[in-house]
A and B are shown apart, each in its own frame.
Chain A
Amino acid sequence: MESSVSSEQVQQKVHQESEHTHDVQGTSLFGFIVFLLSESVIFLSFFAGYIALKTTTPDWLPPGVEGLETHDPLINTIVLVSSSFVIYFAEEALKKNKLTLFRLLWLLTSAMGIYFLVGQAIEWRGLPFGFTSGAFGGTFYLLTGFHGLHVLTGILLQFLMLARSFFPGNYTKGHTGVTEVSLFWHFVDVIWIILFCLIYVWQ
């Protein structure tokens, strides 16, 4: 902001935003992006750990394990990545005030997220190694589990935003929330793409 802004203009802004002297929604979104920055460092650390252990551990795969099957995880990946497009259109629908379309697409995103989680749970059940099966087992479950936890969080936040959309008073607040949840979902997707390449493609 420039110093040429007069005190009347500032006070006017105070009045307009009732009890705030700043752009509350902009600050909230900015804060959320800053938070995602720190989240990405956690994932980067886990990725670095995975690479370090994979390249230095002599017996990387547990005895009797040949490698990971990639067919089902690939379908899972396609579903999750597609959901990023769906949530984008949901957000666009809300911007155009098409509330019903927003809810439908929003719900579809959650459904795709749930499909992903269920798919992962089925994969976990069928795997011949566990969390304590050497460095490979540990990092595999840590990475996929921690990511899965983020997917679950994303789905819960989506439900929260959906519920809020039924309260007209919360509409404006819900809007920032929708942008933030959508951003979170894209973030979780990008992380999965890296994770998929790291664990399933680079075997």
Chain B
Amino acid sequence: MTNIPVEGIGIPGEKPKFQPPPGWKRYFSFSTDHKVIGIQYLVTSFTFFLIGGFLAMIIRAELITPESDLIDRTLYNSMFTMHGTIMIFLWIFPSLVGLSNYLVPLMIGARDMAFPRLNAAAFWLIPVVGILLMASFFLPDGTAQAGWWVYPPVSLQNPGGHLISGQAVWILAVAISGISSIMGAVNFVATIVKMRAPGMTFFRMPVFVWTVLSAQLIQLTALPALTAGAVMLLFDLTVGTSFFNSAKGGNPVLFQHFFWFYSHPAVYVMALPAFGIFSEVIPVYARKPLFGYKVVAVSSLLIAGVSLLVWVHHMFTSGTPGWMRMIFMLSSMCVGVPTGIKIFAWTATLWKGKIRLQTPMLFALGAVLMFLFAGITGIMLASVPIDIHVNNTYFVVGHFHYVVYGTVTMGLFAGIYHWFPKMTGRMYYEGLGVLHFWLAFIGTNLNFLPMHPLGLQGMLRRVSSYDPEYAFWNVLASLGAFLLGISTLPFILNLLGAWVQGEKAPDNPWRAIGLEWLVSSPPPIENFAEIPIVVSEPYGYGKDEPLVENAAAVRGE
């Protein structure tokens, strides 16, 4: 089948309401097609990934020697603040939303998202956020420098006295990104709850859809708390109110509560869809049904629920009373239960499977392995005595990067490689994919593993110079970072090359089971010639039952 829009597809006698321009131009248009928006998200966020990565290279280049000799300390503060901000708000969130945007309607048998115009509007706010953040480099006092968590009183400092300071622009940009996320969350929840194809019961939804639903429910219930905190911080900064300004009777710890009430669960907004990707990829390349499908599906909701009750573990050293520390230590450790269930399920799926180690599988397995490590250090950090010892050190940085790079970014790569043939109609180059994996896997471990001993030895984060006794691990970490930077090159080369002149992809190159693999690669506008009627559970590998009743009609045959 072709990807050229077919007149009135699925609706005999009627033209689709909106047709994007043909070819590459569609990606520069205000398209309401979820597939176009999905790719717009992915490409835009990847561009910011490169910028955020470039800043990381500068940071690691500065830290390769103990002295602060490459950039001055003010600029160094800008570098780590913007690196964190860009990677979180302009890479991980939007790229996951992009992948989800592309896949969710296809996976649940819908023609589009519930609110296509809202969807497009949510995407177009992302470049605005990016431009605002980038423009803040040119302000008289430079960008925000208080780190991505913008704790007052540091974030309330405005020595230049300018109304439009880097910090104010930062808050504005993050608020706009928050609005975009809320718009997206409303859309995803409405789409998943209300627009599933006939027969697609909740327990026939792919786990990826479950994880997206859980992640977006977190966005809806937690993100507004950060928005509230940001509004109050902006007023403190610009008009002189005293919500968080202790000099004027405010309470700076209150901001930490607002911040972490969202920013802890936000880790699961990032990690859950990555878990969804593992749950899709592993059964395909192990040729086995996902072990414990229903439990894995429900564990996503459990993770989302528990994640809302653990934020104070980020504040064990913020004057939190002992009884509260105990409660939050225990609740934080509880997150290990549903996440452990997932890891056991993936492992059990691999057990006696016919494993094919193609690029998506390599990335998925590598990411699961690194997530296992991140989970263990996470439990350590939830433990009050250890947390107090390593608080604000590189141990935390190492743990966090195992989550956001090792798990989420590697998981995203697994997803991008896995669905690349579906999205573009072309096959990627396997050799380059494998090269990318090994460079990234070695780079990640070389970069972030040394941060753990550094933290245990007491090296603080967010410093541009350090005691020479920390030099050995820092040199290793920097070499790992550069390797990680280099690993991105085969990825770019692979995808660009394959998109332009790769081998044509069949509809279902991996012999995978899922509604998205029933239609052509890339899928036609409005996805299905006829809405699929789902008759069985997903992941029926090795079973002899069809997924849908009307497969031929769905393809328009």
Report A's interface with B, CB cutoff 8 A. Answer: 1-3, 5-7, 10-11, 14-15, 18-19, 21-23, 26-28, 30-31, 34-35, 37-39, 41-42, 44-46, 48-49, 52-53, 56-59, 131-132, 134-135, 137-139, 142
Contacts and interface: CB of A to CB of B under 8 A. Distances in A.
A52 B10 contact: no
A26 to B, nearest CB: 6
B14 interface: yes
Contacts of B11: 14-15, 18-19
B258 A138 contact: no
Contacts of A38: 182, 185-186, 219-221, 223-224
Contacts of B232: 49, 138, 142
Contact of A42 (B111, B196, B228, B534): B228
B221 A41 contact: yes
A10 B115 CA distance: 21
Contacts of A22: 110, 114, 194-195
Contact of B533 (A10, A31, A37, A134): A10
22 contacts: A19-B17, A21-B111, A22-B114, A27-B114, A30-B193, A31-B115, A34-B190, A37-B221, A41-B225, A42-B224, A45-B225, A49-B258, A52-B251, A53-B243, A53-B250, A56-B251, A131-B241, A134-B242, A134-B249, A138-B232, A142-B231, A142-B241
Please name the 5 residue pairs, one residue from A and one from B, whose CB atoms are nearest each other, closest first: A3-B199, A45-B228, A41-B224, A31-B190, A138-B241
A68 B250 CA distance: 21
Contact of B241 (A6, A27, A132): A132
| Prevailing SS type, chain A contact patch | helix
A112 B270 CA distance: 45
Contacts of A2: 198-199
Nearest to A35: B186
A98 B243 CA distance: 49
Contact of A41 (B186, B200, B220): B220
A15 B261 CA distance: 46
Interface of B: 10-11, 14, 16-17, 110-111, 114-115, 182, 185-187, 189-190, 193-196, 198-200, 219-225, 227-229, 231-232, 235, 239-243, 248-251, 254, 257-258, 261, 530-531, 533-535, 549-550, 553
Given A10-B530, A38-B185, A134-B248, A5 B110 contact: no
B182 A135 contact: no
A26 B194 CA distance: 8
A131 B236 CA distance: 10
Contacts of B110: 21-22
Among A26, A37, A45, A52, find the residue whose CB has the most chain B CB atoms closer than 10 A: A45
Given A10-B530, A132-B239, A37 B220 contact: yes
Given A45-B258, A52-B254, A138 B194 contact: no
A137 B553 CA distance: 65
Nearest to A20: B111
B549 A7 contact: yes
Contacts of A58: 249
B243 A3 contact: no
B243 A131 contact: no
Contact of B190 (A21, A30, A44, A138): A30
A7 B550 CA distance: 7
Contacts of A138: 232, 235, 241-243, 250
A135 B10 CA distance: 59
Nearest to A146: B231
A37 B190 CA distance: 13
B550 A135 contact: no
B386 to A, nearest CB: 28
Among B190, B240, B549, B550, find the residue whose CB has the most chain A CB atoms closer than 10 A: B190
Contacts of B228: 42, 45-46, 49
Nearest to B109: A21
B531 A21 contact: yes
Contacts of B219: 38
Contacts of A15: 11
Nearest to B533: A7
Given A42-B224, A45-B224, A142-B232, A52 B186 contact: no
B346 to A, nearest CB: 28
A194 to B, nearest CB: 15
Contacts of B115: 28, 31
A133 to B, nearest CB: 9
Contacts of B194: 22-23, 26-27, 30
Contacts of B250: 53, 57, 135, 138
B42 to A, nearest CB: 24
B229 to A, nearest CB: 7
A142 B258 CA distance: 16
Nearest to A39: B224
B163 to A, nearest CB: 15
A27 B194 CA distance: 6
Contacts of A56: 251
Given A11-B530, A59-B249, A5 B258 contact: no
Nearest to A60: B249
